[in-house]
Structure formats: C-alpha cells, structure tokens
Amino acid sequence: MITDVKIKAKSWLNENFDADTRKEVEELLKPENEKELIESFYKDLEFGTGGLRGIMGTGTNRMNIYTVGMATQGLANYIKINFKNIEQPKVAIAHDCRNNSRLYAKTVANIFSSNGFYVYLFESLRPTPELSFAIRAFGCHGGVVITASHNPKEYNGFKAYWNDGGQLIEPHDTRVIDEVRKITNPSQVRFQPVKQNIETIGEEFDEIYLEKLKSLSLSPEAIEKNKDMKIVYTPIHGTGVDLVPKALRKFGFANIFNVPEQDITDGNFPTVKSPNPENADALKMAIEKAIKVGAELVMATDPDADRVGIAVRDNSGKFVLLNGNQTGSILIYYLIRRWNELGKIKGKEYIVKTIVTTDLISDIAKKYGVEYFDVLTGFKYIADIIKQNEGKKHFIGGGEESYGYLAGEFVRDKDAIMSCALIAETAAWAKTQGKSIYDLLLDIYTEFGFYKELLMNLEKHGKEGAEEIDKMMSDLRRNPPVEINDSKVLFVKDYKKCISLDMEKNLSEKIELPSSNVLQFILKDGTKISVRPSGTEPKIKFYVSTKGKLLGAAEFEKMNKELDNKLEKILKFFNK
C-alpha cells in the first residue's frame, strides 16, 4: 500500500496545486509521517449520497479546495445534463462557522459561476435550513452548504441539494456520484470565477425566511400570555446565533437570554468538547445561565442550526435534558393537537418519521386520524415524502431521533430555527394549562405508553475502523441473534436486502423502501433494536427502543429505572 500511496501523493506536487499544498505533501512524504500520509492518501474522500464529509487537510482523503472543487465540478456537470434546456441554471450556496467554511463556499461559488451558473452566495454564515429555503425561493436547480453539522472541529463537509430544496436522493444521488468520479484531477475543474454571475445574499433574505417561519405559529394567544417566559439559547459558536433569537422575538417572546461566550463564532468550538446538542456537555453553560436567571427552557443548536437539543425543569425544579425522541414526540403531539383543536384536520394530513425514531410519534398520529410515514434514516427521505404529496396532502410535521425536526412545506430539511420557535410556543401553550413541557411529556407517556430509547455509538476510526464496522454488520446478517435479553427475536428486518423475515414462521416479505445498510430486530416483548453504520461519522450506531405502561406521573421514576436497566442489558449484548 505505501508504494501506491506515495505515487498518489507525489501526483500532488505538480503545478495544478498551490505552493502551500505542495509543501504540505513534501512534509507528509517524510518517513516519520508515514501513518498520516497513508490516512491522507490511501483512498479518495468518497462523495456519498449526501456529499462529502471528512477531516480537513491535504490529500485525496481530506477536505480541501481540491477535493471540494472536484466534487463541485461533478455536481455542476450533472445539473447541466439534467437542465440542458436552461440557458443559465441557478444555485444557492451557504456555509457554517467552521474553519475554512467560507473558503470552501467561495470556491464552490467560483466554480459554479465559471461553469455558467447564476450563483446566490450568502454574505456570511447561515443555517442549513435557510439554504434549503433559498433554493425554492430563488427557483434554483440545486445548492450546496458547507458544513460538517455537529462533527468535531477537525471536520468539514459539502452537502448537495436538488431543486426541491431537499438533499439528493435516487436517482440523482448515485448519478451525481458517477459524475464526480469522472473528475479525477483538479486540472478538470474550472476554478476561475465569473464575478458577474455571483450575487451576494444578505439580511433582507433573512427577513423573508423569518416571516415564513412566523406563519407556522398555532398559539399566538398563548405566547402573548407568556411572552415574558424566560428562555436561554446558545448557538454553540454556530450559525443560529442571529436567527434563533430573531425568530423567537418574531413569534412574540421577549425574555431571551444568551450565553455570551458561546455567541462568538469560532470553528474551534472553544467552550465545548463537541458542538453537538445531543451531548450534555454542550448545554452545560446554558443550563448554568438558566439556573442563574430563573429560566424555564434551555435550547442549543448545532453549528449549522439544523438540530436542537433542549433542557427543561422537572417537577423538582431541576433541569433535565430531553433526548431527540422525547422532544420530537412533544413537538408532534403539540402540532397535531393544535391542528385538531383549530379544525385543520380534514383527513389529508400526515406526519413523517424515520425507522429508528420512536414509535410513540406513530401512536400519537393514529389517535388523531393522521396518516404517518416511516422512512429511512436521513431527512432527505422526509423531504421526498413531502415532495410526493405536494398539492395532494398536508404535511403537519416530522422528525428524527437525532434532534432534527420540521413543520410546514417551505423548508425541505430539518430546521432548528423553526424548531426553537415552535418548542418555545409549545412551552407557552402548556403553561396556559398550568403545565410545563416536562408535565406534558408525562401526560403523553401516560396516555400512549412510556417509550424509552437509548443510542449507543461505537466509534471506529480510519481504515481499520471502517473494516471492523463492515465485519460487524456482515456477522449480524449472517448469524442474527435468536434471543436478546431473554426475549425471542420475532422479526429481522434487513433494509439492505429489503426483506423482513418472520423468524418463527420462516416467512419473508418485501420492505417497500430503498436499500439501506440497516438491520432491525423486533423482539417478542416489543423491543426494537436498529443497527446501522453512520453515513457521516466513523461509527456504528445501535438504537434500542422499549416500552412500559405508565399509570401516572407518580410512577415515572420507578418505570424509568426499570426501562433503563432493560436498555443497558440489551446494549451489553451488542458491546461484548
């Protein structure tokens, strides 16, 4: 391998690459840097179905202007093939707060402009959902946002969008990959900009987006009664810093507190270990601020503001973090309940969730006669359902357990700006009934069943890690467990083969979803376990969901402990 890697690395020493890049390659070629050389060049950074994501640096397996440039050229070629009757196709480009994000965004804009596209480039960092909205608002044929979402600071990414404002799905995703693979050298990329083809987009467009968000409000009277409710918000150094407070104020909330240290835009994320609102550490400073000011609700968004994590006070007044399933269930419950109370449910309404997201959401939809769809993991599949039903049915909302939610049809990706405003509205609505969000969650559990979920991430880095993940999935397919935690496995769902196997009857039926590398085990006691390699991070994920009967709020702690013990035993089974 090392011989091939060196040959590949030396090909980056010609004049197609700038002087700094050539110097870095020469440094990597020194004997003491062999391991890093291999990691940087042993393969090409793969343009997957969602685009690029990887560690920033020099090399074919790293995010840099050349790998970004080649991806952009391939995407530009594909858009032109698909819209060959359009004289000048249009694209929108945005970026988050990460190191090099502005550089990569300008590189993408320059390449599109050089290829004859009209480019809408945001003047500075903007949330991913606003990019999705911009594609539709400007009638674009595609778009790109430079972001690695909630990944560690070493990462960056390139997310590609189609003309509906959603991320690429079949057939476009695989066909774009084919076009990108045809670009094998930076000499094939048109890097020189055509400046008159690039338009800078600023605050005036933010206002258009915020006005559309405001149209989603279902309880303005509840907000008016509780406009002074204290809310703490942190963007964790990211793109929500400006628009989340503006959205909250536009909805009518007046008592918003920030965390000044985390309002500073910084791709090094200096105040947290990881800029991921799924992690308790990321909300620590915001919760401390909330305790100090007496706030009721804490919200934190990730660097590109498409995910939101929240903390609420429990019945003892202590702040507790809600997971993505809990927040999603509360939000969908609120949306459906208010649609019902306002007489908006006419029989053509629906919600969407992913297959690894809690079935509590489905149960809520069933009660109110709202259709629900289960889709593969990835918000692009939720966007596709919205597209398929546009003009025929009405999308109430949807979400995924990984802290991403959406309402309305004008954005086609998860939207934390929107979600923050609607979560705050939910809190205000609950307050008019003398309840907190925590009370609302217990009410939902009592009515529909106490669903408890746990996610285990096993990180496996580098080439060896990727091979280990592949082996784990292969072993589970070849020898699926017969029993887990003293409960029989009744069904094995293999979404890669699109087959659901009834283990007792030895019968199989087709799964009507696109192929995806996911395995699901349904146990006799109702437990559901989903296993999938992450498409964006070097890890394999185990999602476990179980359920118990909650007789009332007084029984919560007891049932919570029972379900926690059960979940821990199941995870130990897979992490031996």
Catalytic residue numbers read 149
Q: How many CA atoms lie within 13 A of 131 on its CB side?
A: 35
CB 58 within 8 A of CB 64: yes
What tokens does 206 get? 């933010």
Beta pairing partners, 398? 352, 406
- Exposure of 402 in the CB half-sphere (CA atoms within 13 A): 22
- CA–CA dist 406, 419 (Å, integer): 7
For residue 526, give Cα distances in angstroms to 330, 451, 491, 495, 547: 22, 10, 11, 19, 7
Q: How far apart are CA 230 and CA 430, in angstroms?
A: 14
Rounded Cα distance between 490 and 508, Å, is 12
| First vs last C-alpha separation in the chain | 32
Nearest CA to 238 out of 287, 281, 301, 285 is that of: 301
Q: Which helix (H) or strand (E) holds 142?
A: strand 142-146
d(CA 55, CA 334): 39
Q: Cα–Cα–Cα angle for 555, 294, 416, nearest 5°?
A: 80
Q: What is the DSSP string of 479-498?
A: S--SEETTEEEEEEEETTTT
Q: Are 95 and 130 in contact (CB under 8 A)?
A: no
Pairing between strand 142-146 and 319-322? unpaired
